[in-house]
Chains A and B, each alone.
Chain A
Amino acid sequence: MTGAKQATHDPPPGGTTGAERDEADLLTRFEALLAAGESVEPHDWVPDGYRRMLVRQIAQHAHSEIIGMQPEGAWLTRAPTLYRKAVLLAKVQDEAGHGLYLYSAAETLGVDRADLLDALHRGRQHSSAAFDHPALTWADTGAIAWLTDGAAVVNQAPLCRTSYGPYARAMRRVCQEEGFHVQQGYDQLLALSRGTPEQKRMAQDAVDRWWLPAVALMFGPPDTGGAAAGVGAATSRQAMAWGVKRHTNDELRQRFVDLCVPQARELGLTLPDPAIRWNPERGHHDFGPVDWACYRRALPGDSHCARRRIAHRAAAHREGAWVREAAEAYARRSPEAAGEPAA
């Protein structure tokens, strides 16, 4: 422990002022770690705010992985070919794995997966609102993989170097697989776009519906550009100072738009934003302002689809309670079986 190591150097100071000095020393040490670009590990002392920020972010991320399984999972039984069924199964399986890595990373910060799931089911924590839209056609699974996973890759690539070690390591495993999902989503949309006119219409309709959720909700509120930025900016500044985030939401959003525009052209599909055009002065694509008001009006998690997502998740959890209880009872009774693979 950091505290014990420190005691060998300094004589233990007495009284409350000593405790305060300890805290100040610990903070200096923590900030030095960040300044040196080294990763913070579970045994390191961290400020409460840092811990809270990470738990919130990692839990939201984990919740998004498992809630995100629902729109695609709904199409597993209806995939048009056995090859596409296999690809979709592999993807949904990957997302369950991402959820597991991330809940484990959160647990290194002293919280419990069971408590985090409980918070999700009771509406005290949320998943990304990007998934609170229904997957209406087969093409939606392609659009989700191309756009939503695509936005996730842009968001997560810098998180592979985030300051908290267990989170950064989880993100490195996740990122590789997400990159693969994006390629498969693109490939699926390409097949539809080159298919019959009805298939192409289905692909365009799905892109029309999943574009805005990806651009707006996968990156969060604007956090640059003065007054309009509001609270988003303060949170982002703190997250960047702590090395949790490496870029602003708006930088990442721009990067995503720049990536998608040429890909949409190759796909033969249009992005539903008439304001998109190349701006040679900025060296970026301009795009239309996001109507944040339409998202702010709705409380988080409060839409028809959001309620359905949580109800689905909570029902599965409730109906599985007897199975989890049985597994726990069995593990208590046969300690030698605890090492047996649960799956």
Chain B
Amino acid sequence: MTTEAATALERDFARCALRLGDDALVLAQRLCTWITRAPTLEEDLALSNIALDLVGHARALLSLSGRLDGTGRTEDELAQLRDGREFRNTLLAELPNGDFAVTIARQLAFSHYARLHYADLAGCAEPELAALAGRAAREVDYHRLHADGWTVRLGLGTEESRRRMQDGLDLVWPYTAELFAADEAVARLDAAGAGPAPARVLERWRRATAETVSRAGLRLPEPGWSADGGREGLHSEEFGALLAEMQSTYRQYPGGAW
């Protein structure tokens, strides 16, 4: 297979797409385990719908990344054949589901970030990435509505749901900083004015999530300790199990056709 040598700019965009694609894929994988276990049938339906959108984003982003980085790897080669150290998703995306409130807190942080960042990326210099970011921004807006709705409902529901939702926010929020951190590729693209860095939407993300949390009668934890490492391939121990499960069928049948 011959691919033209990727330019430095293309390689940076490839890394940018890979980060986003890995977040979408890993979060979808977590949401999949809710299905048949959700609190209502409506939620089985809503969570599978959200997971389906995320798998769609992951497919488009990983394929694009494999084309831009010059290796020609397909979406499945990237998803199924990389080892954990090569995954670039945030620790937030791989956080275990916890109870429904933890999952909603994770959705709240991620969907607000994804909506703002995709909308921003829709203006980037890589035309294919710009087009798919525009589409994805519209889809994740529904995910944001879903997370906002449940944050408020749980915050103002019963004593128990309020306590659990607050615990969920406390657990998840230290993992949100990593969403906005830049690696070298992102910094170079941003400096060249070619691709917006996620940090550009940080202030709007803070305002939007704080607004929902205050409508829910809850509070965000004080900024303090924050987690990172996922973007460099330093994941949690649980992540190994997630990957082993996700990749098992594909790897069990080398040369298989699906």
Whether the pair B154, A326 counts as a contact (CB closer than 8 A) is yes
Which chain A residue shows the least CB distance to B48? A93
Which chain A residue shows the least CB distance to B156? A330
Q: Is A316 an interface residue (CB 8 A)?
A: yes
Question: How many Å lie between the Cα of A69 and that of B48 in the bound state?
Answer: 12
What residues of chain A lie closer than 8 Å to B35, measured between beta carbons? 69, 73, 76, 89, 92
Q: Is B2 an interface residue (CB 8 A)?
A: no
What residues of chain B lie closer than 8 Å to A322, measured between beta carbons? 158, 160-161, 164
Interface 1/0 per residue, A96-111 and B, CB below 8 Å = 1101100100000000
Question: How many Å lie between the Cα of A312 and that of B75 in the bound state?
Answer: 33
What residues of chain A lie closer than 8 Å to B42, measured between beta carbons? 100, 342-343
Q: Which of A89, A138, A196, A340 contacts B48 (CB 8 A)?
A: A89
Whether the pair A323, B59 counts as a contact (CB closer than 8 A) is no
Question: How many Å lie between the Cα of A192 and that of B258 in the bound state?
Answer: 6
User: For residues 73 through 112 of chain B, which have their beta carbon under 8 Å from a beta carbon of chain A?
Assistant: 75-76, 79-80, 99-100
The interface size of chain B toward A, counting residues with CB under 8 Å, comes to 54
Q: Which of A80, A316, A320, A330 contacts B256 (CB 8 A)?
A: A80
Q: Is A133 an interface residue (CB 8 A)?
A: no
Q: Is B127 an interface residue (CB 8 A)?
A: no
What residues of chain A lie closer than 8 Å to B223, measured between beta carbons? none
Question: How many Å lie between the Cα of A333 and that of B52 in the bound state?
Answer: 33
What residues of chain B lie closer than 8 Å to A321, measured between beta carbons? 39
Instruction: Determine which residue in B48, B76, B154, B156 has the highest number of CB atoms from chain A within 10 A of its CB, and name it.
Output: B48
Whether the pair A340, B158 counts as a contact (CB closer than 8 A) is no
Question: How many Å lie between the Cα of A312 and that of B25 in the bound state?
Answer: 26
Question: How many Å lie between the Cα of A320 and that of B29 in the bound state?
Answer: 21
A93-B48, A326-B158 in contact; A81/B255 too (CB < 8 A)?
no
Q: Is A84 an interface residue (CB 8 A)?
A: yes
What residues of chain B lie closer than 8 Å to A327, measured between beta carbons? 153, 157
Whether the pair A79, B249 counts as a contact (CB closer than 8 A) is yes
User: For residues 239 through 258 of chain B, which have their beta carbon under 8 Å from a beta carbon of chain A?
Assistant: 245-246, 248-250, 253, 255-258
Q: Is B56 an interface residue (CB 8 A)?
A: yes
Q: Is B145 an interface residue (CB 8 A)?
A: yes
Interface size class of A (residues with CB under 8 A): 35 or more
Whether the pair A325, B249 counts as a contact (CB closer than 8 A) is no
Whether the pair B249, A138 counts as a contact (CB closer than 8 A) is yes
Q: Looking at chain B's contact residues, is the secondary structure mostly helix, strand, loop, or mixed?
A: helix
Question: How many Å lie between the Cα of A1 and that of B64 in the bound state?
Answer: 62
Whether the pair A89, B160 counts as a contact (CB closer than 8 A) is no
Whether the pair B256, A323 counts as a contact (CB closer than 8 A) is no
Question: How many Å lie between the Cα of A333 and that of B157 in the bound state?
Answer: 8
Whether the pair A325, B52 counts as a contact (CB closer than 8 A) is no
Whether the pair A82, B76 counts as a contact (CB closer than 8 A) is yes
Question: How many Å lie between the Cα of A214 and that of B20 in the bound state?
Answer: 42
Question: How many Å lie between the Cα of A322 and that of B62 in the bound state?
Answer: 38
Which chain B residue shows the least CB distance to A78? B249
A85-B55, A86-B59, A343-B146 in contact; A100/B48 too (CB < 8 A)?
no
Within the complex, what minimum Cβ distance (angstroms) separates A314 from chain B? 11
Within the complex, what minimum Cβ distance (angstroms) separates B183 from chain A? 24
Whether the pair A82, B253 counts as a contact (CB closer than 8 A) is no
Question: How many Å lie between the Cα of A175 and that of B257 in the bound state?
Answer: 30
Whether the pair B255, A196 counts as a contact (CB closer than 8 A) is yes
Question: How many Å lie between the Cα of A70 and that of B37 in the bound state?
Answer: 9
Question: How many Å lie between the Cα of A94 and that of B30 in the bound state?
Answer: 20
Q: Is A90 an interface residue (CB 8 A)?
A: yes
Q: Which of B158, B257, B258 contacts A325 (CB 8 A)?
A: B158
Q: Is A60 an interface residue (CB 8 A)?
A: no
What residues of chain B lie closer than 8 Å to A195, measured between beta carbons? 253, 256-258
What residues of chain A lie closer than 8 Å to B33, measured between beta carbons? 76-77
Q: Which 9 residue pairs are nearest across A and B when measured between Cβ atoms?
A: A320-B39, A326-B157, A326-B161, A343-B46, A323-B39, A93-B48, A76-B32, A195-B257, A80-B249
Interface residues of B, Cβ cutoff 8 Å to A = 25, 28-29, 32-33, 35-46, 48-49, 51-52, 55-56, 58-59, 62, 75-76, 79-80, 99-100, 145-146, 149, 152-154, 156-158, 160-161, 164, 245-246, 248-250, 253, 255-258
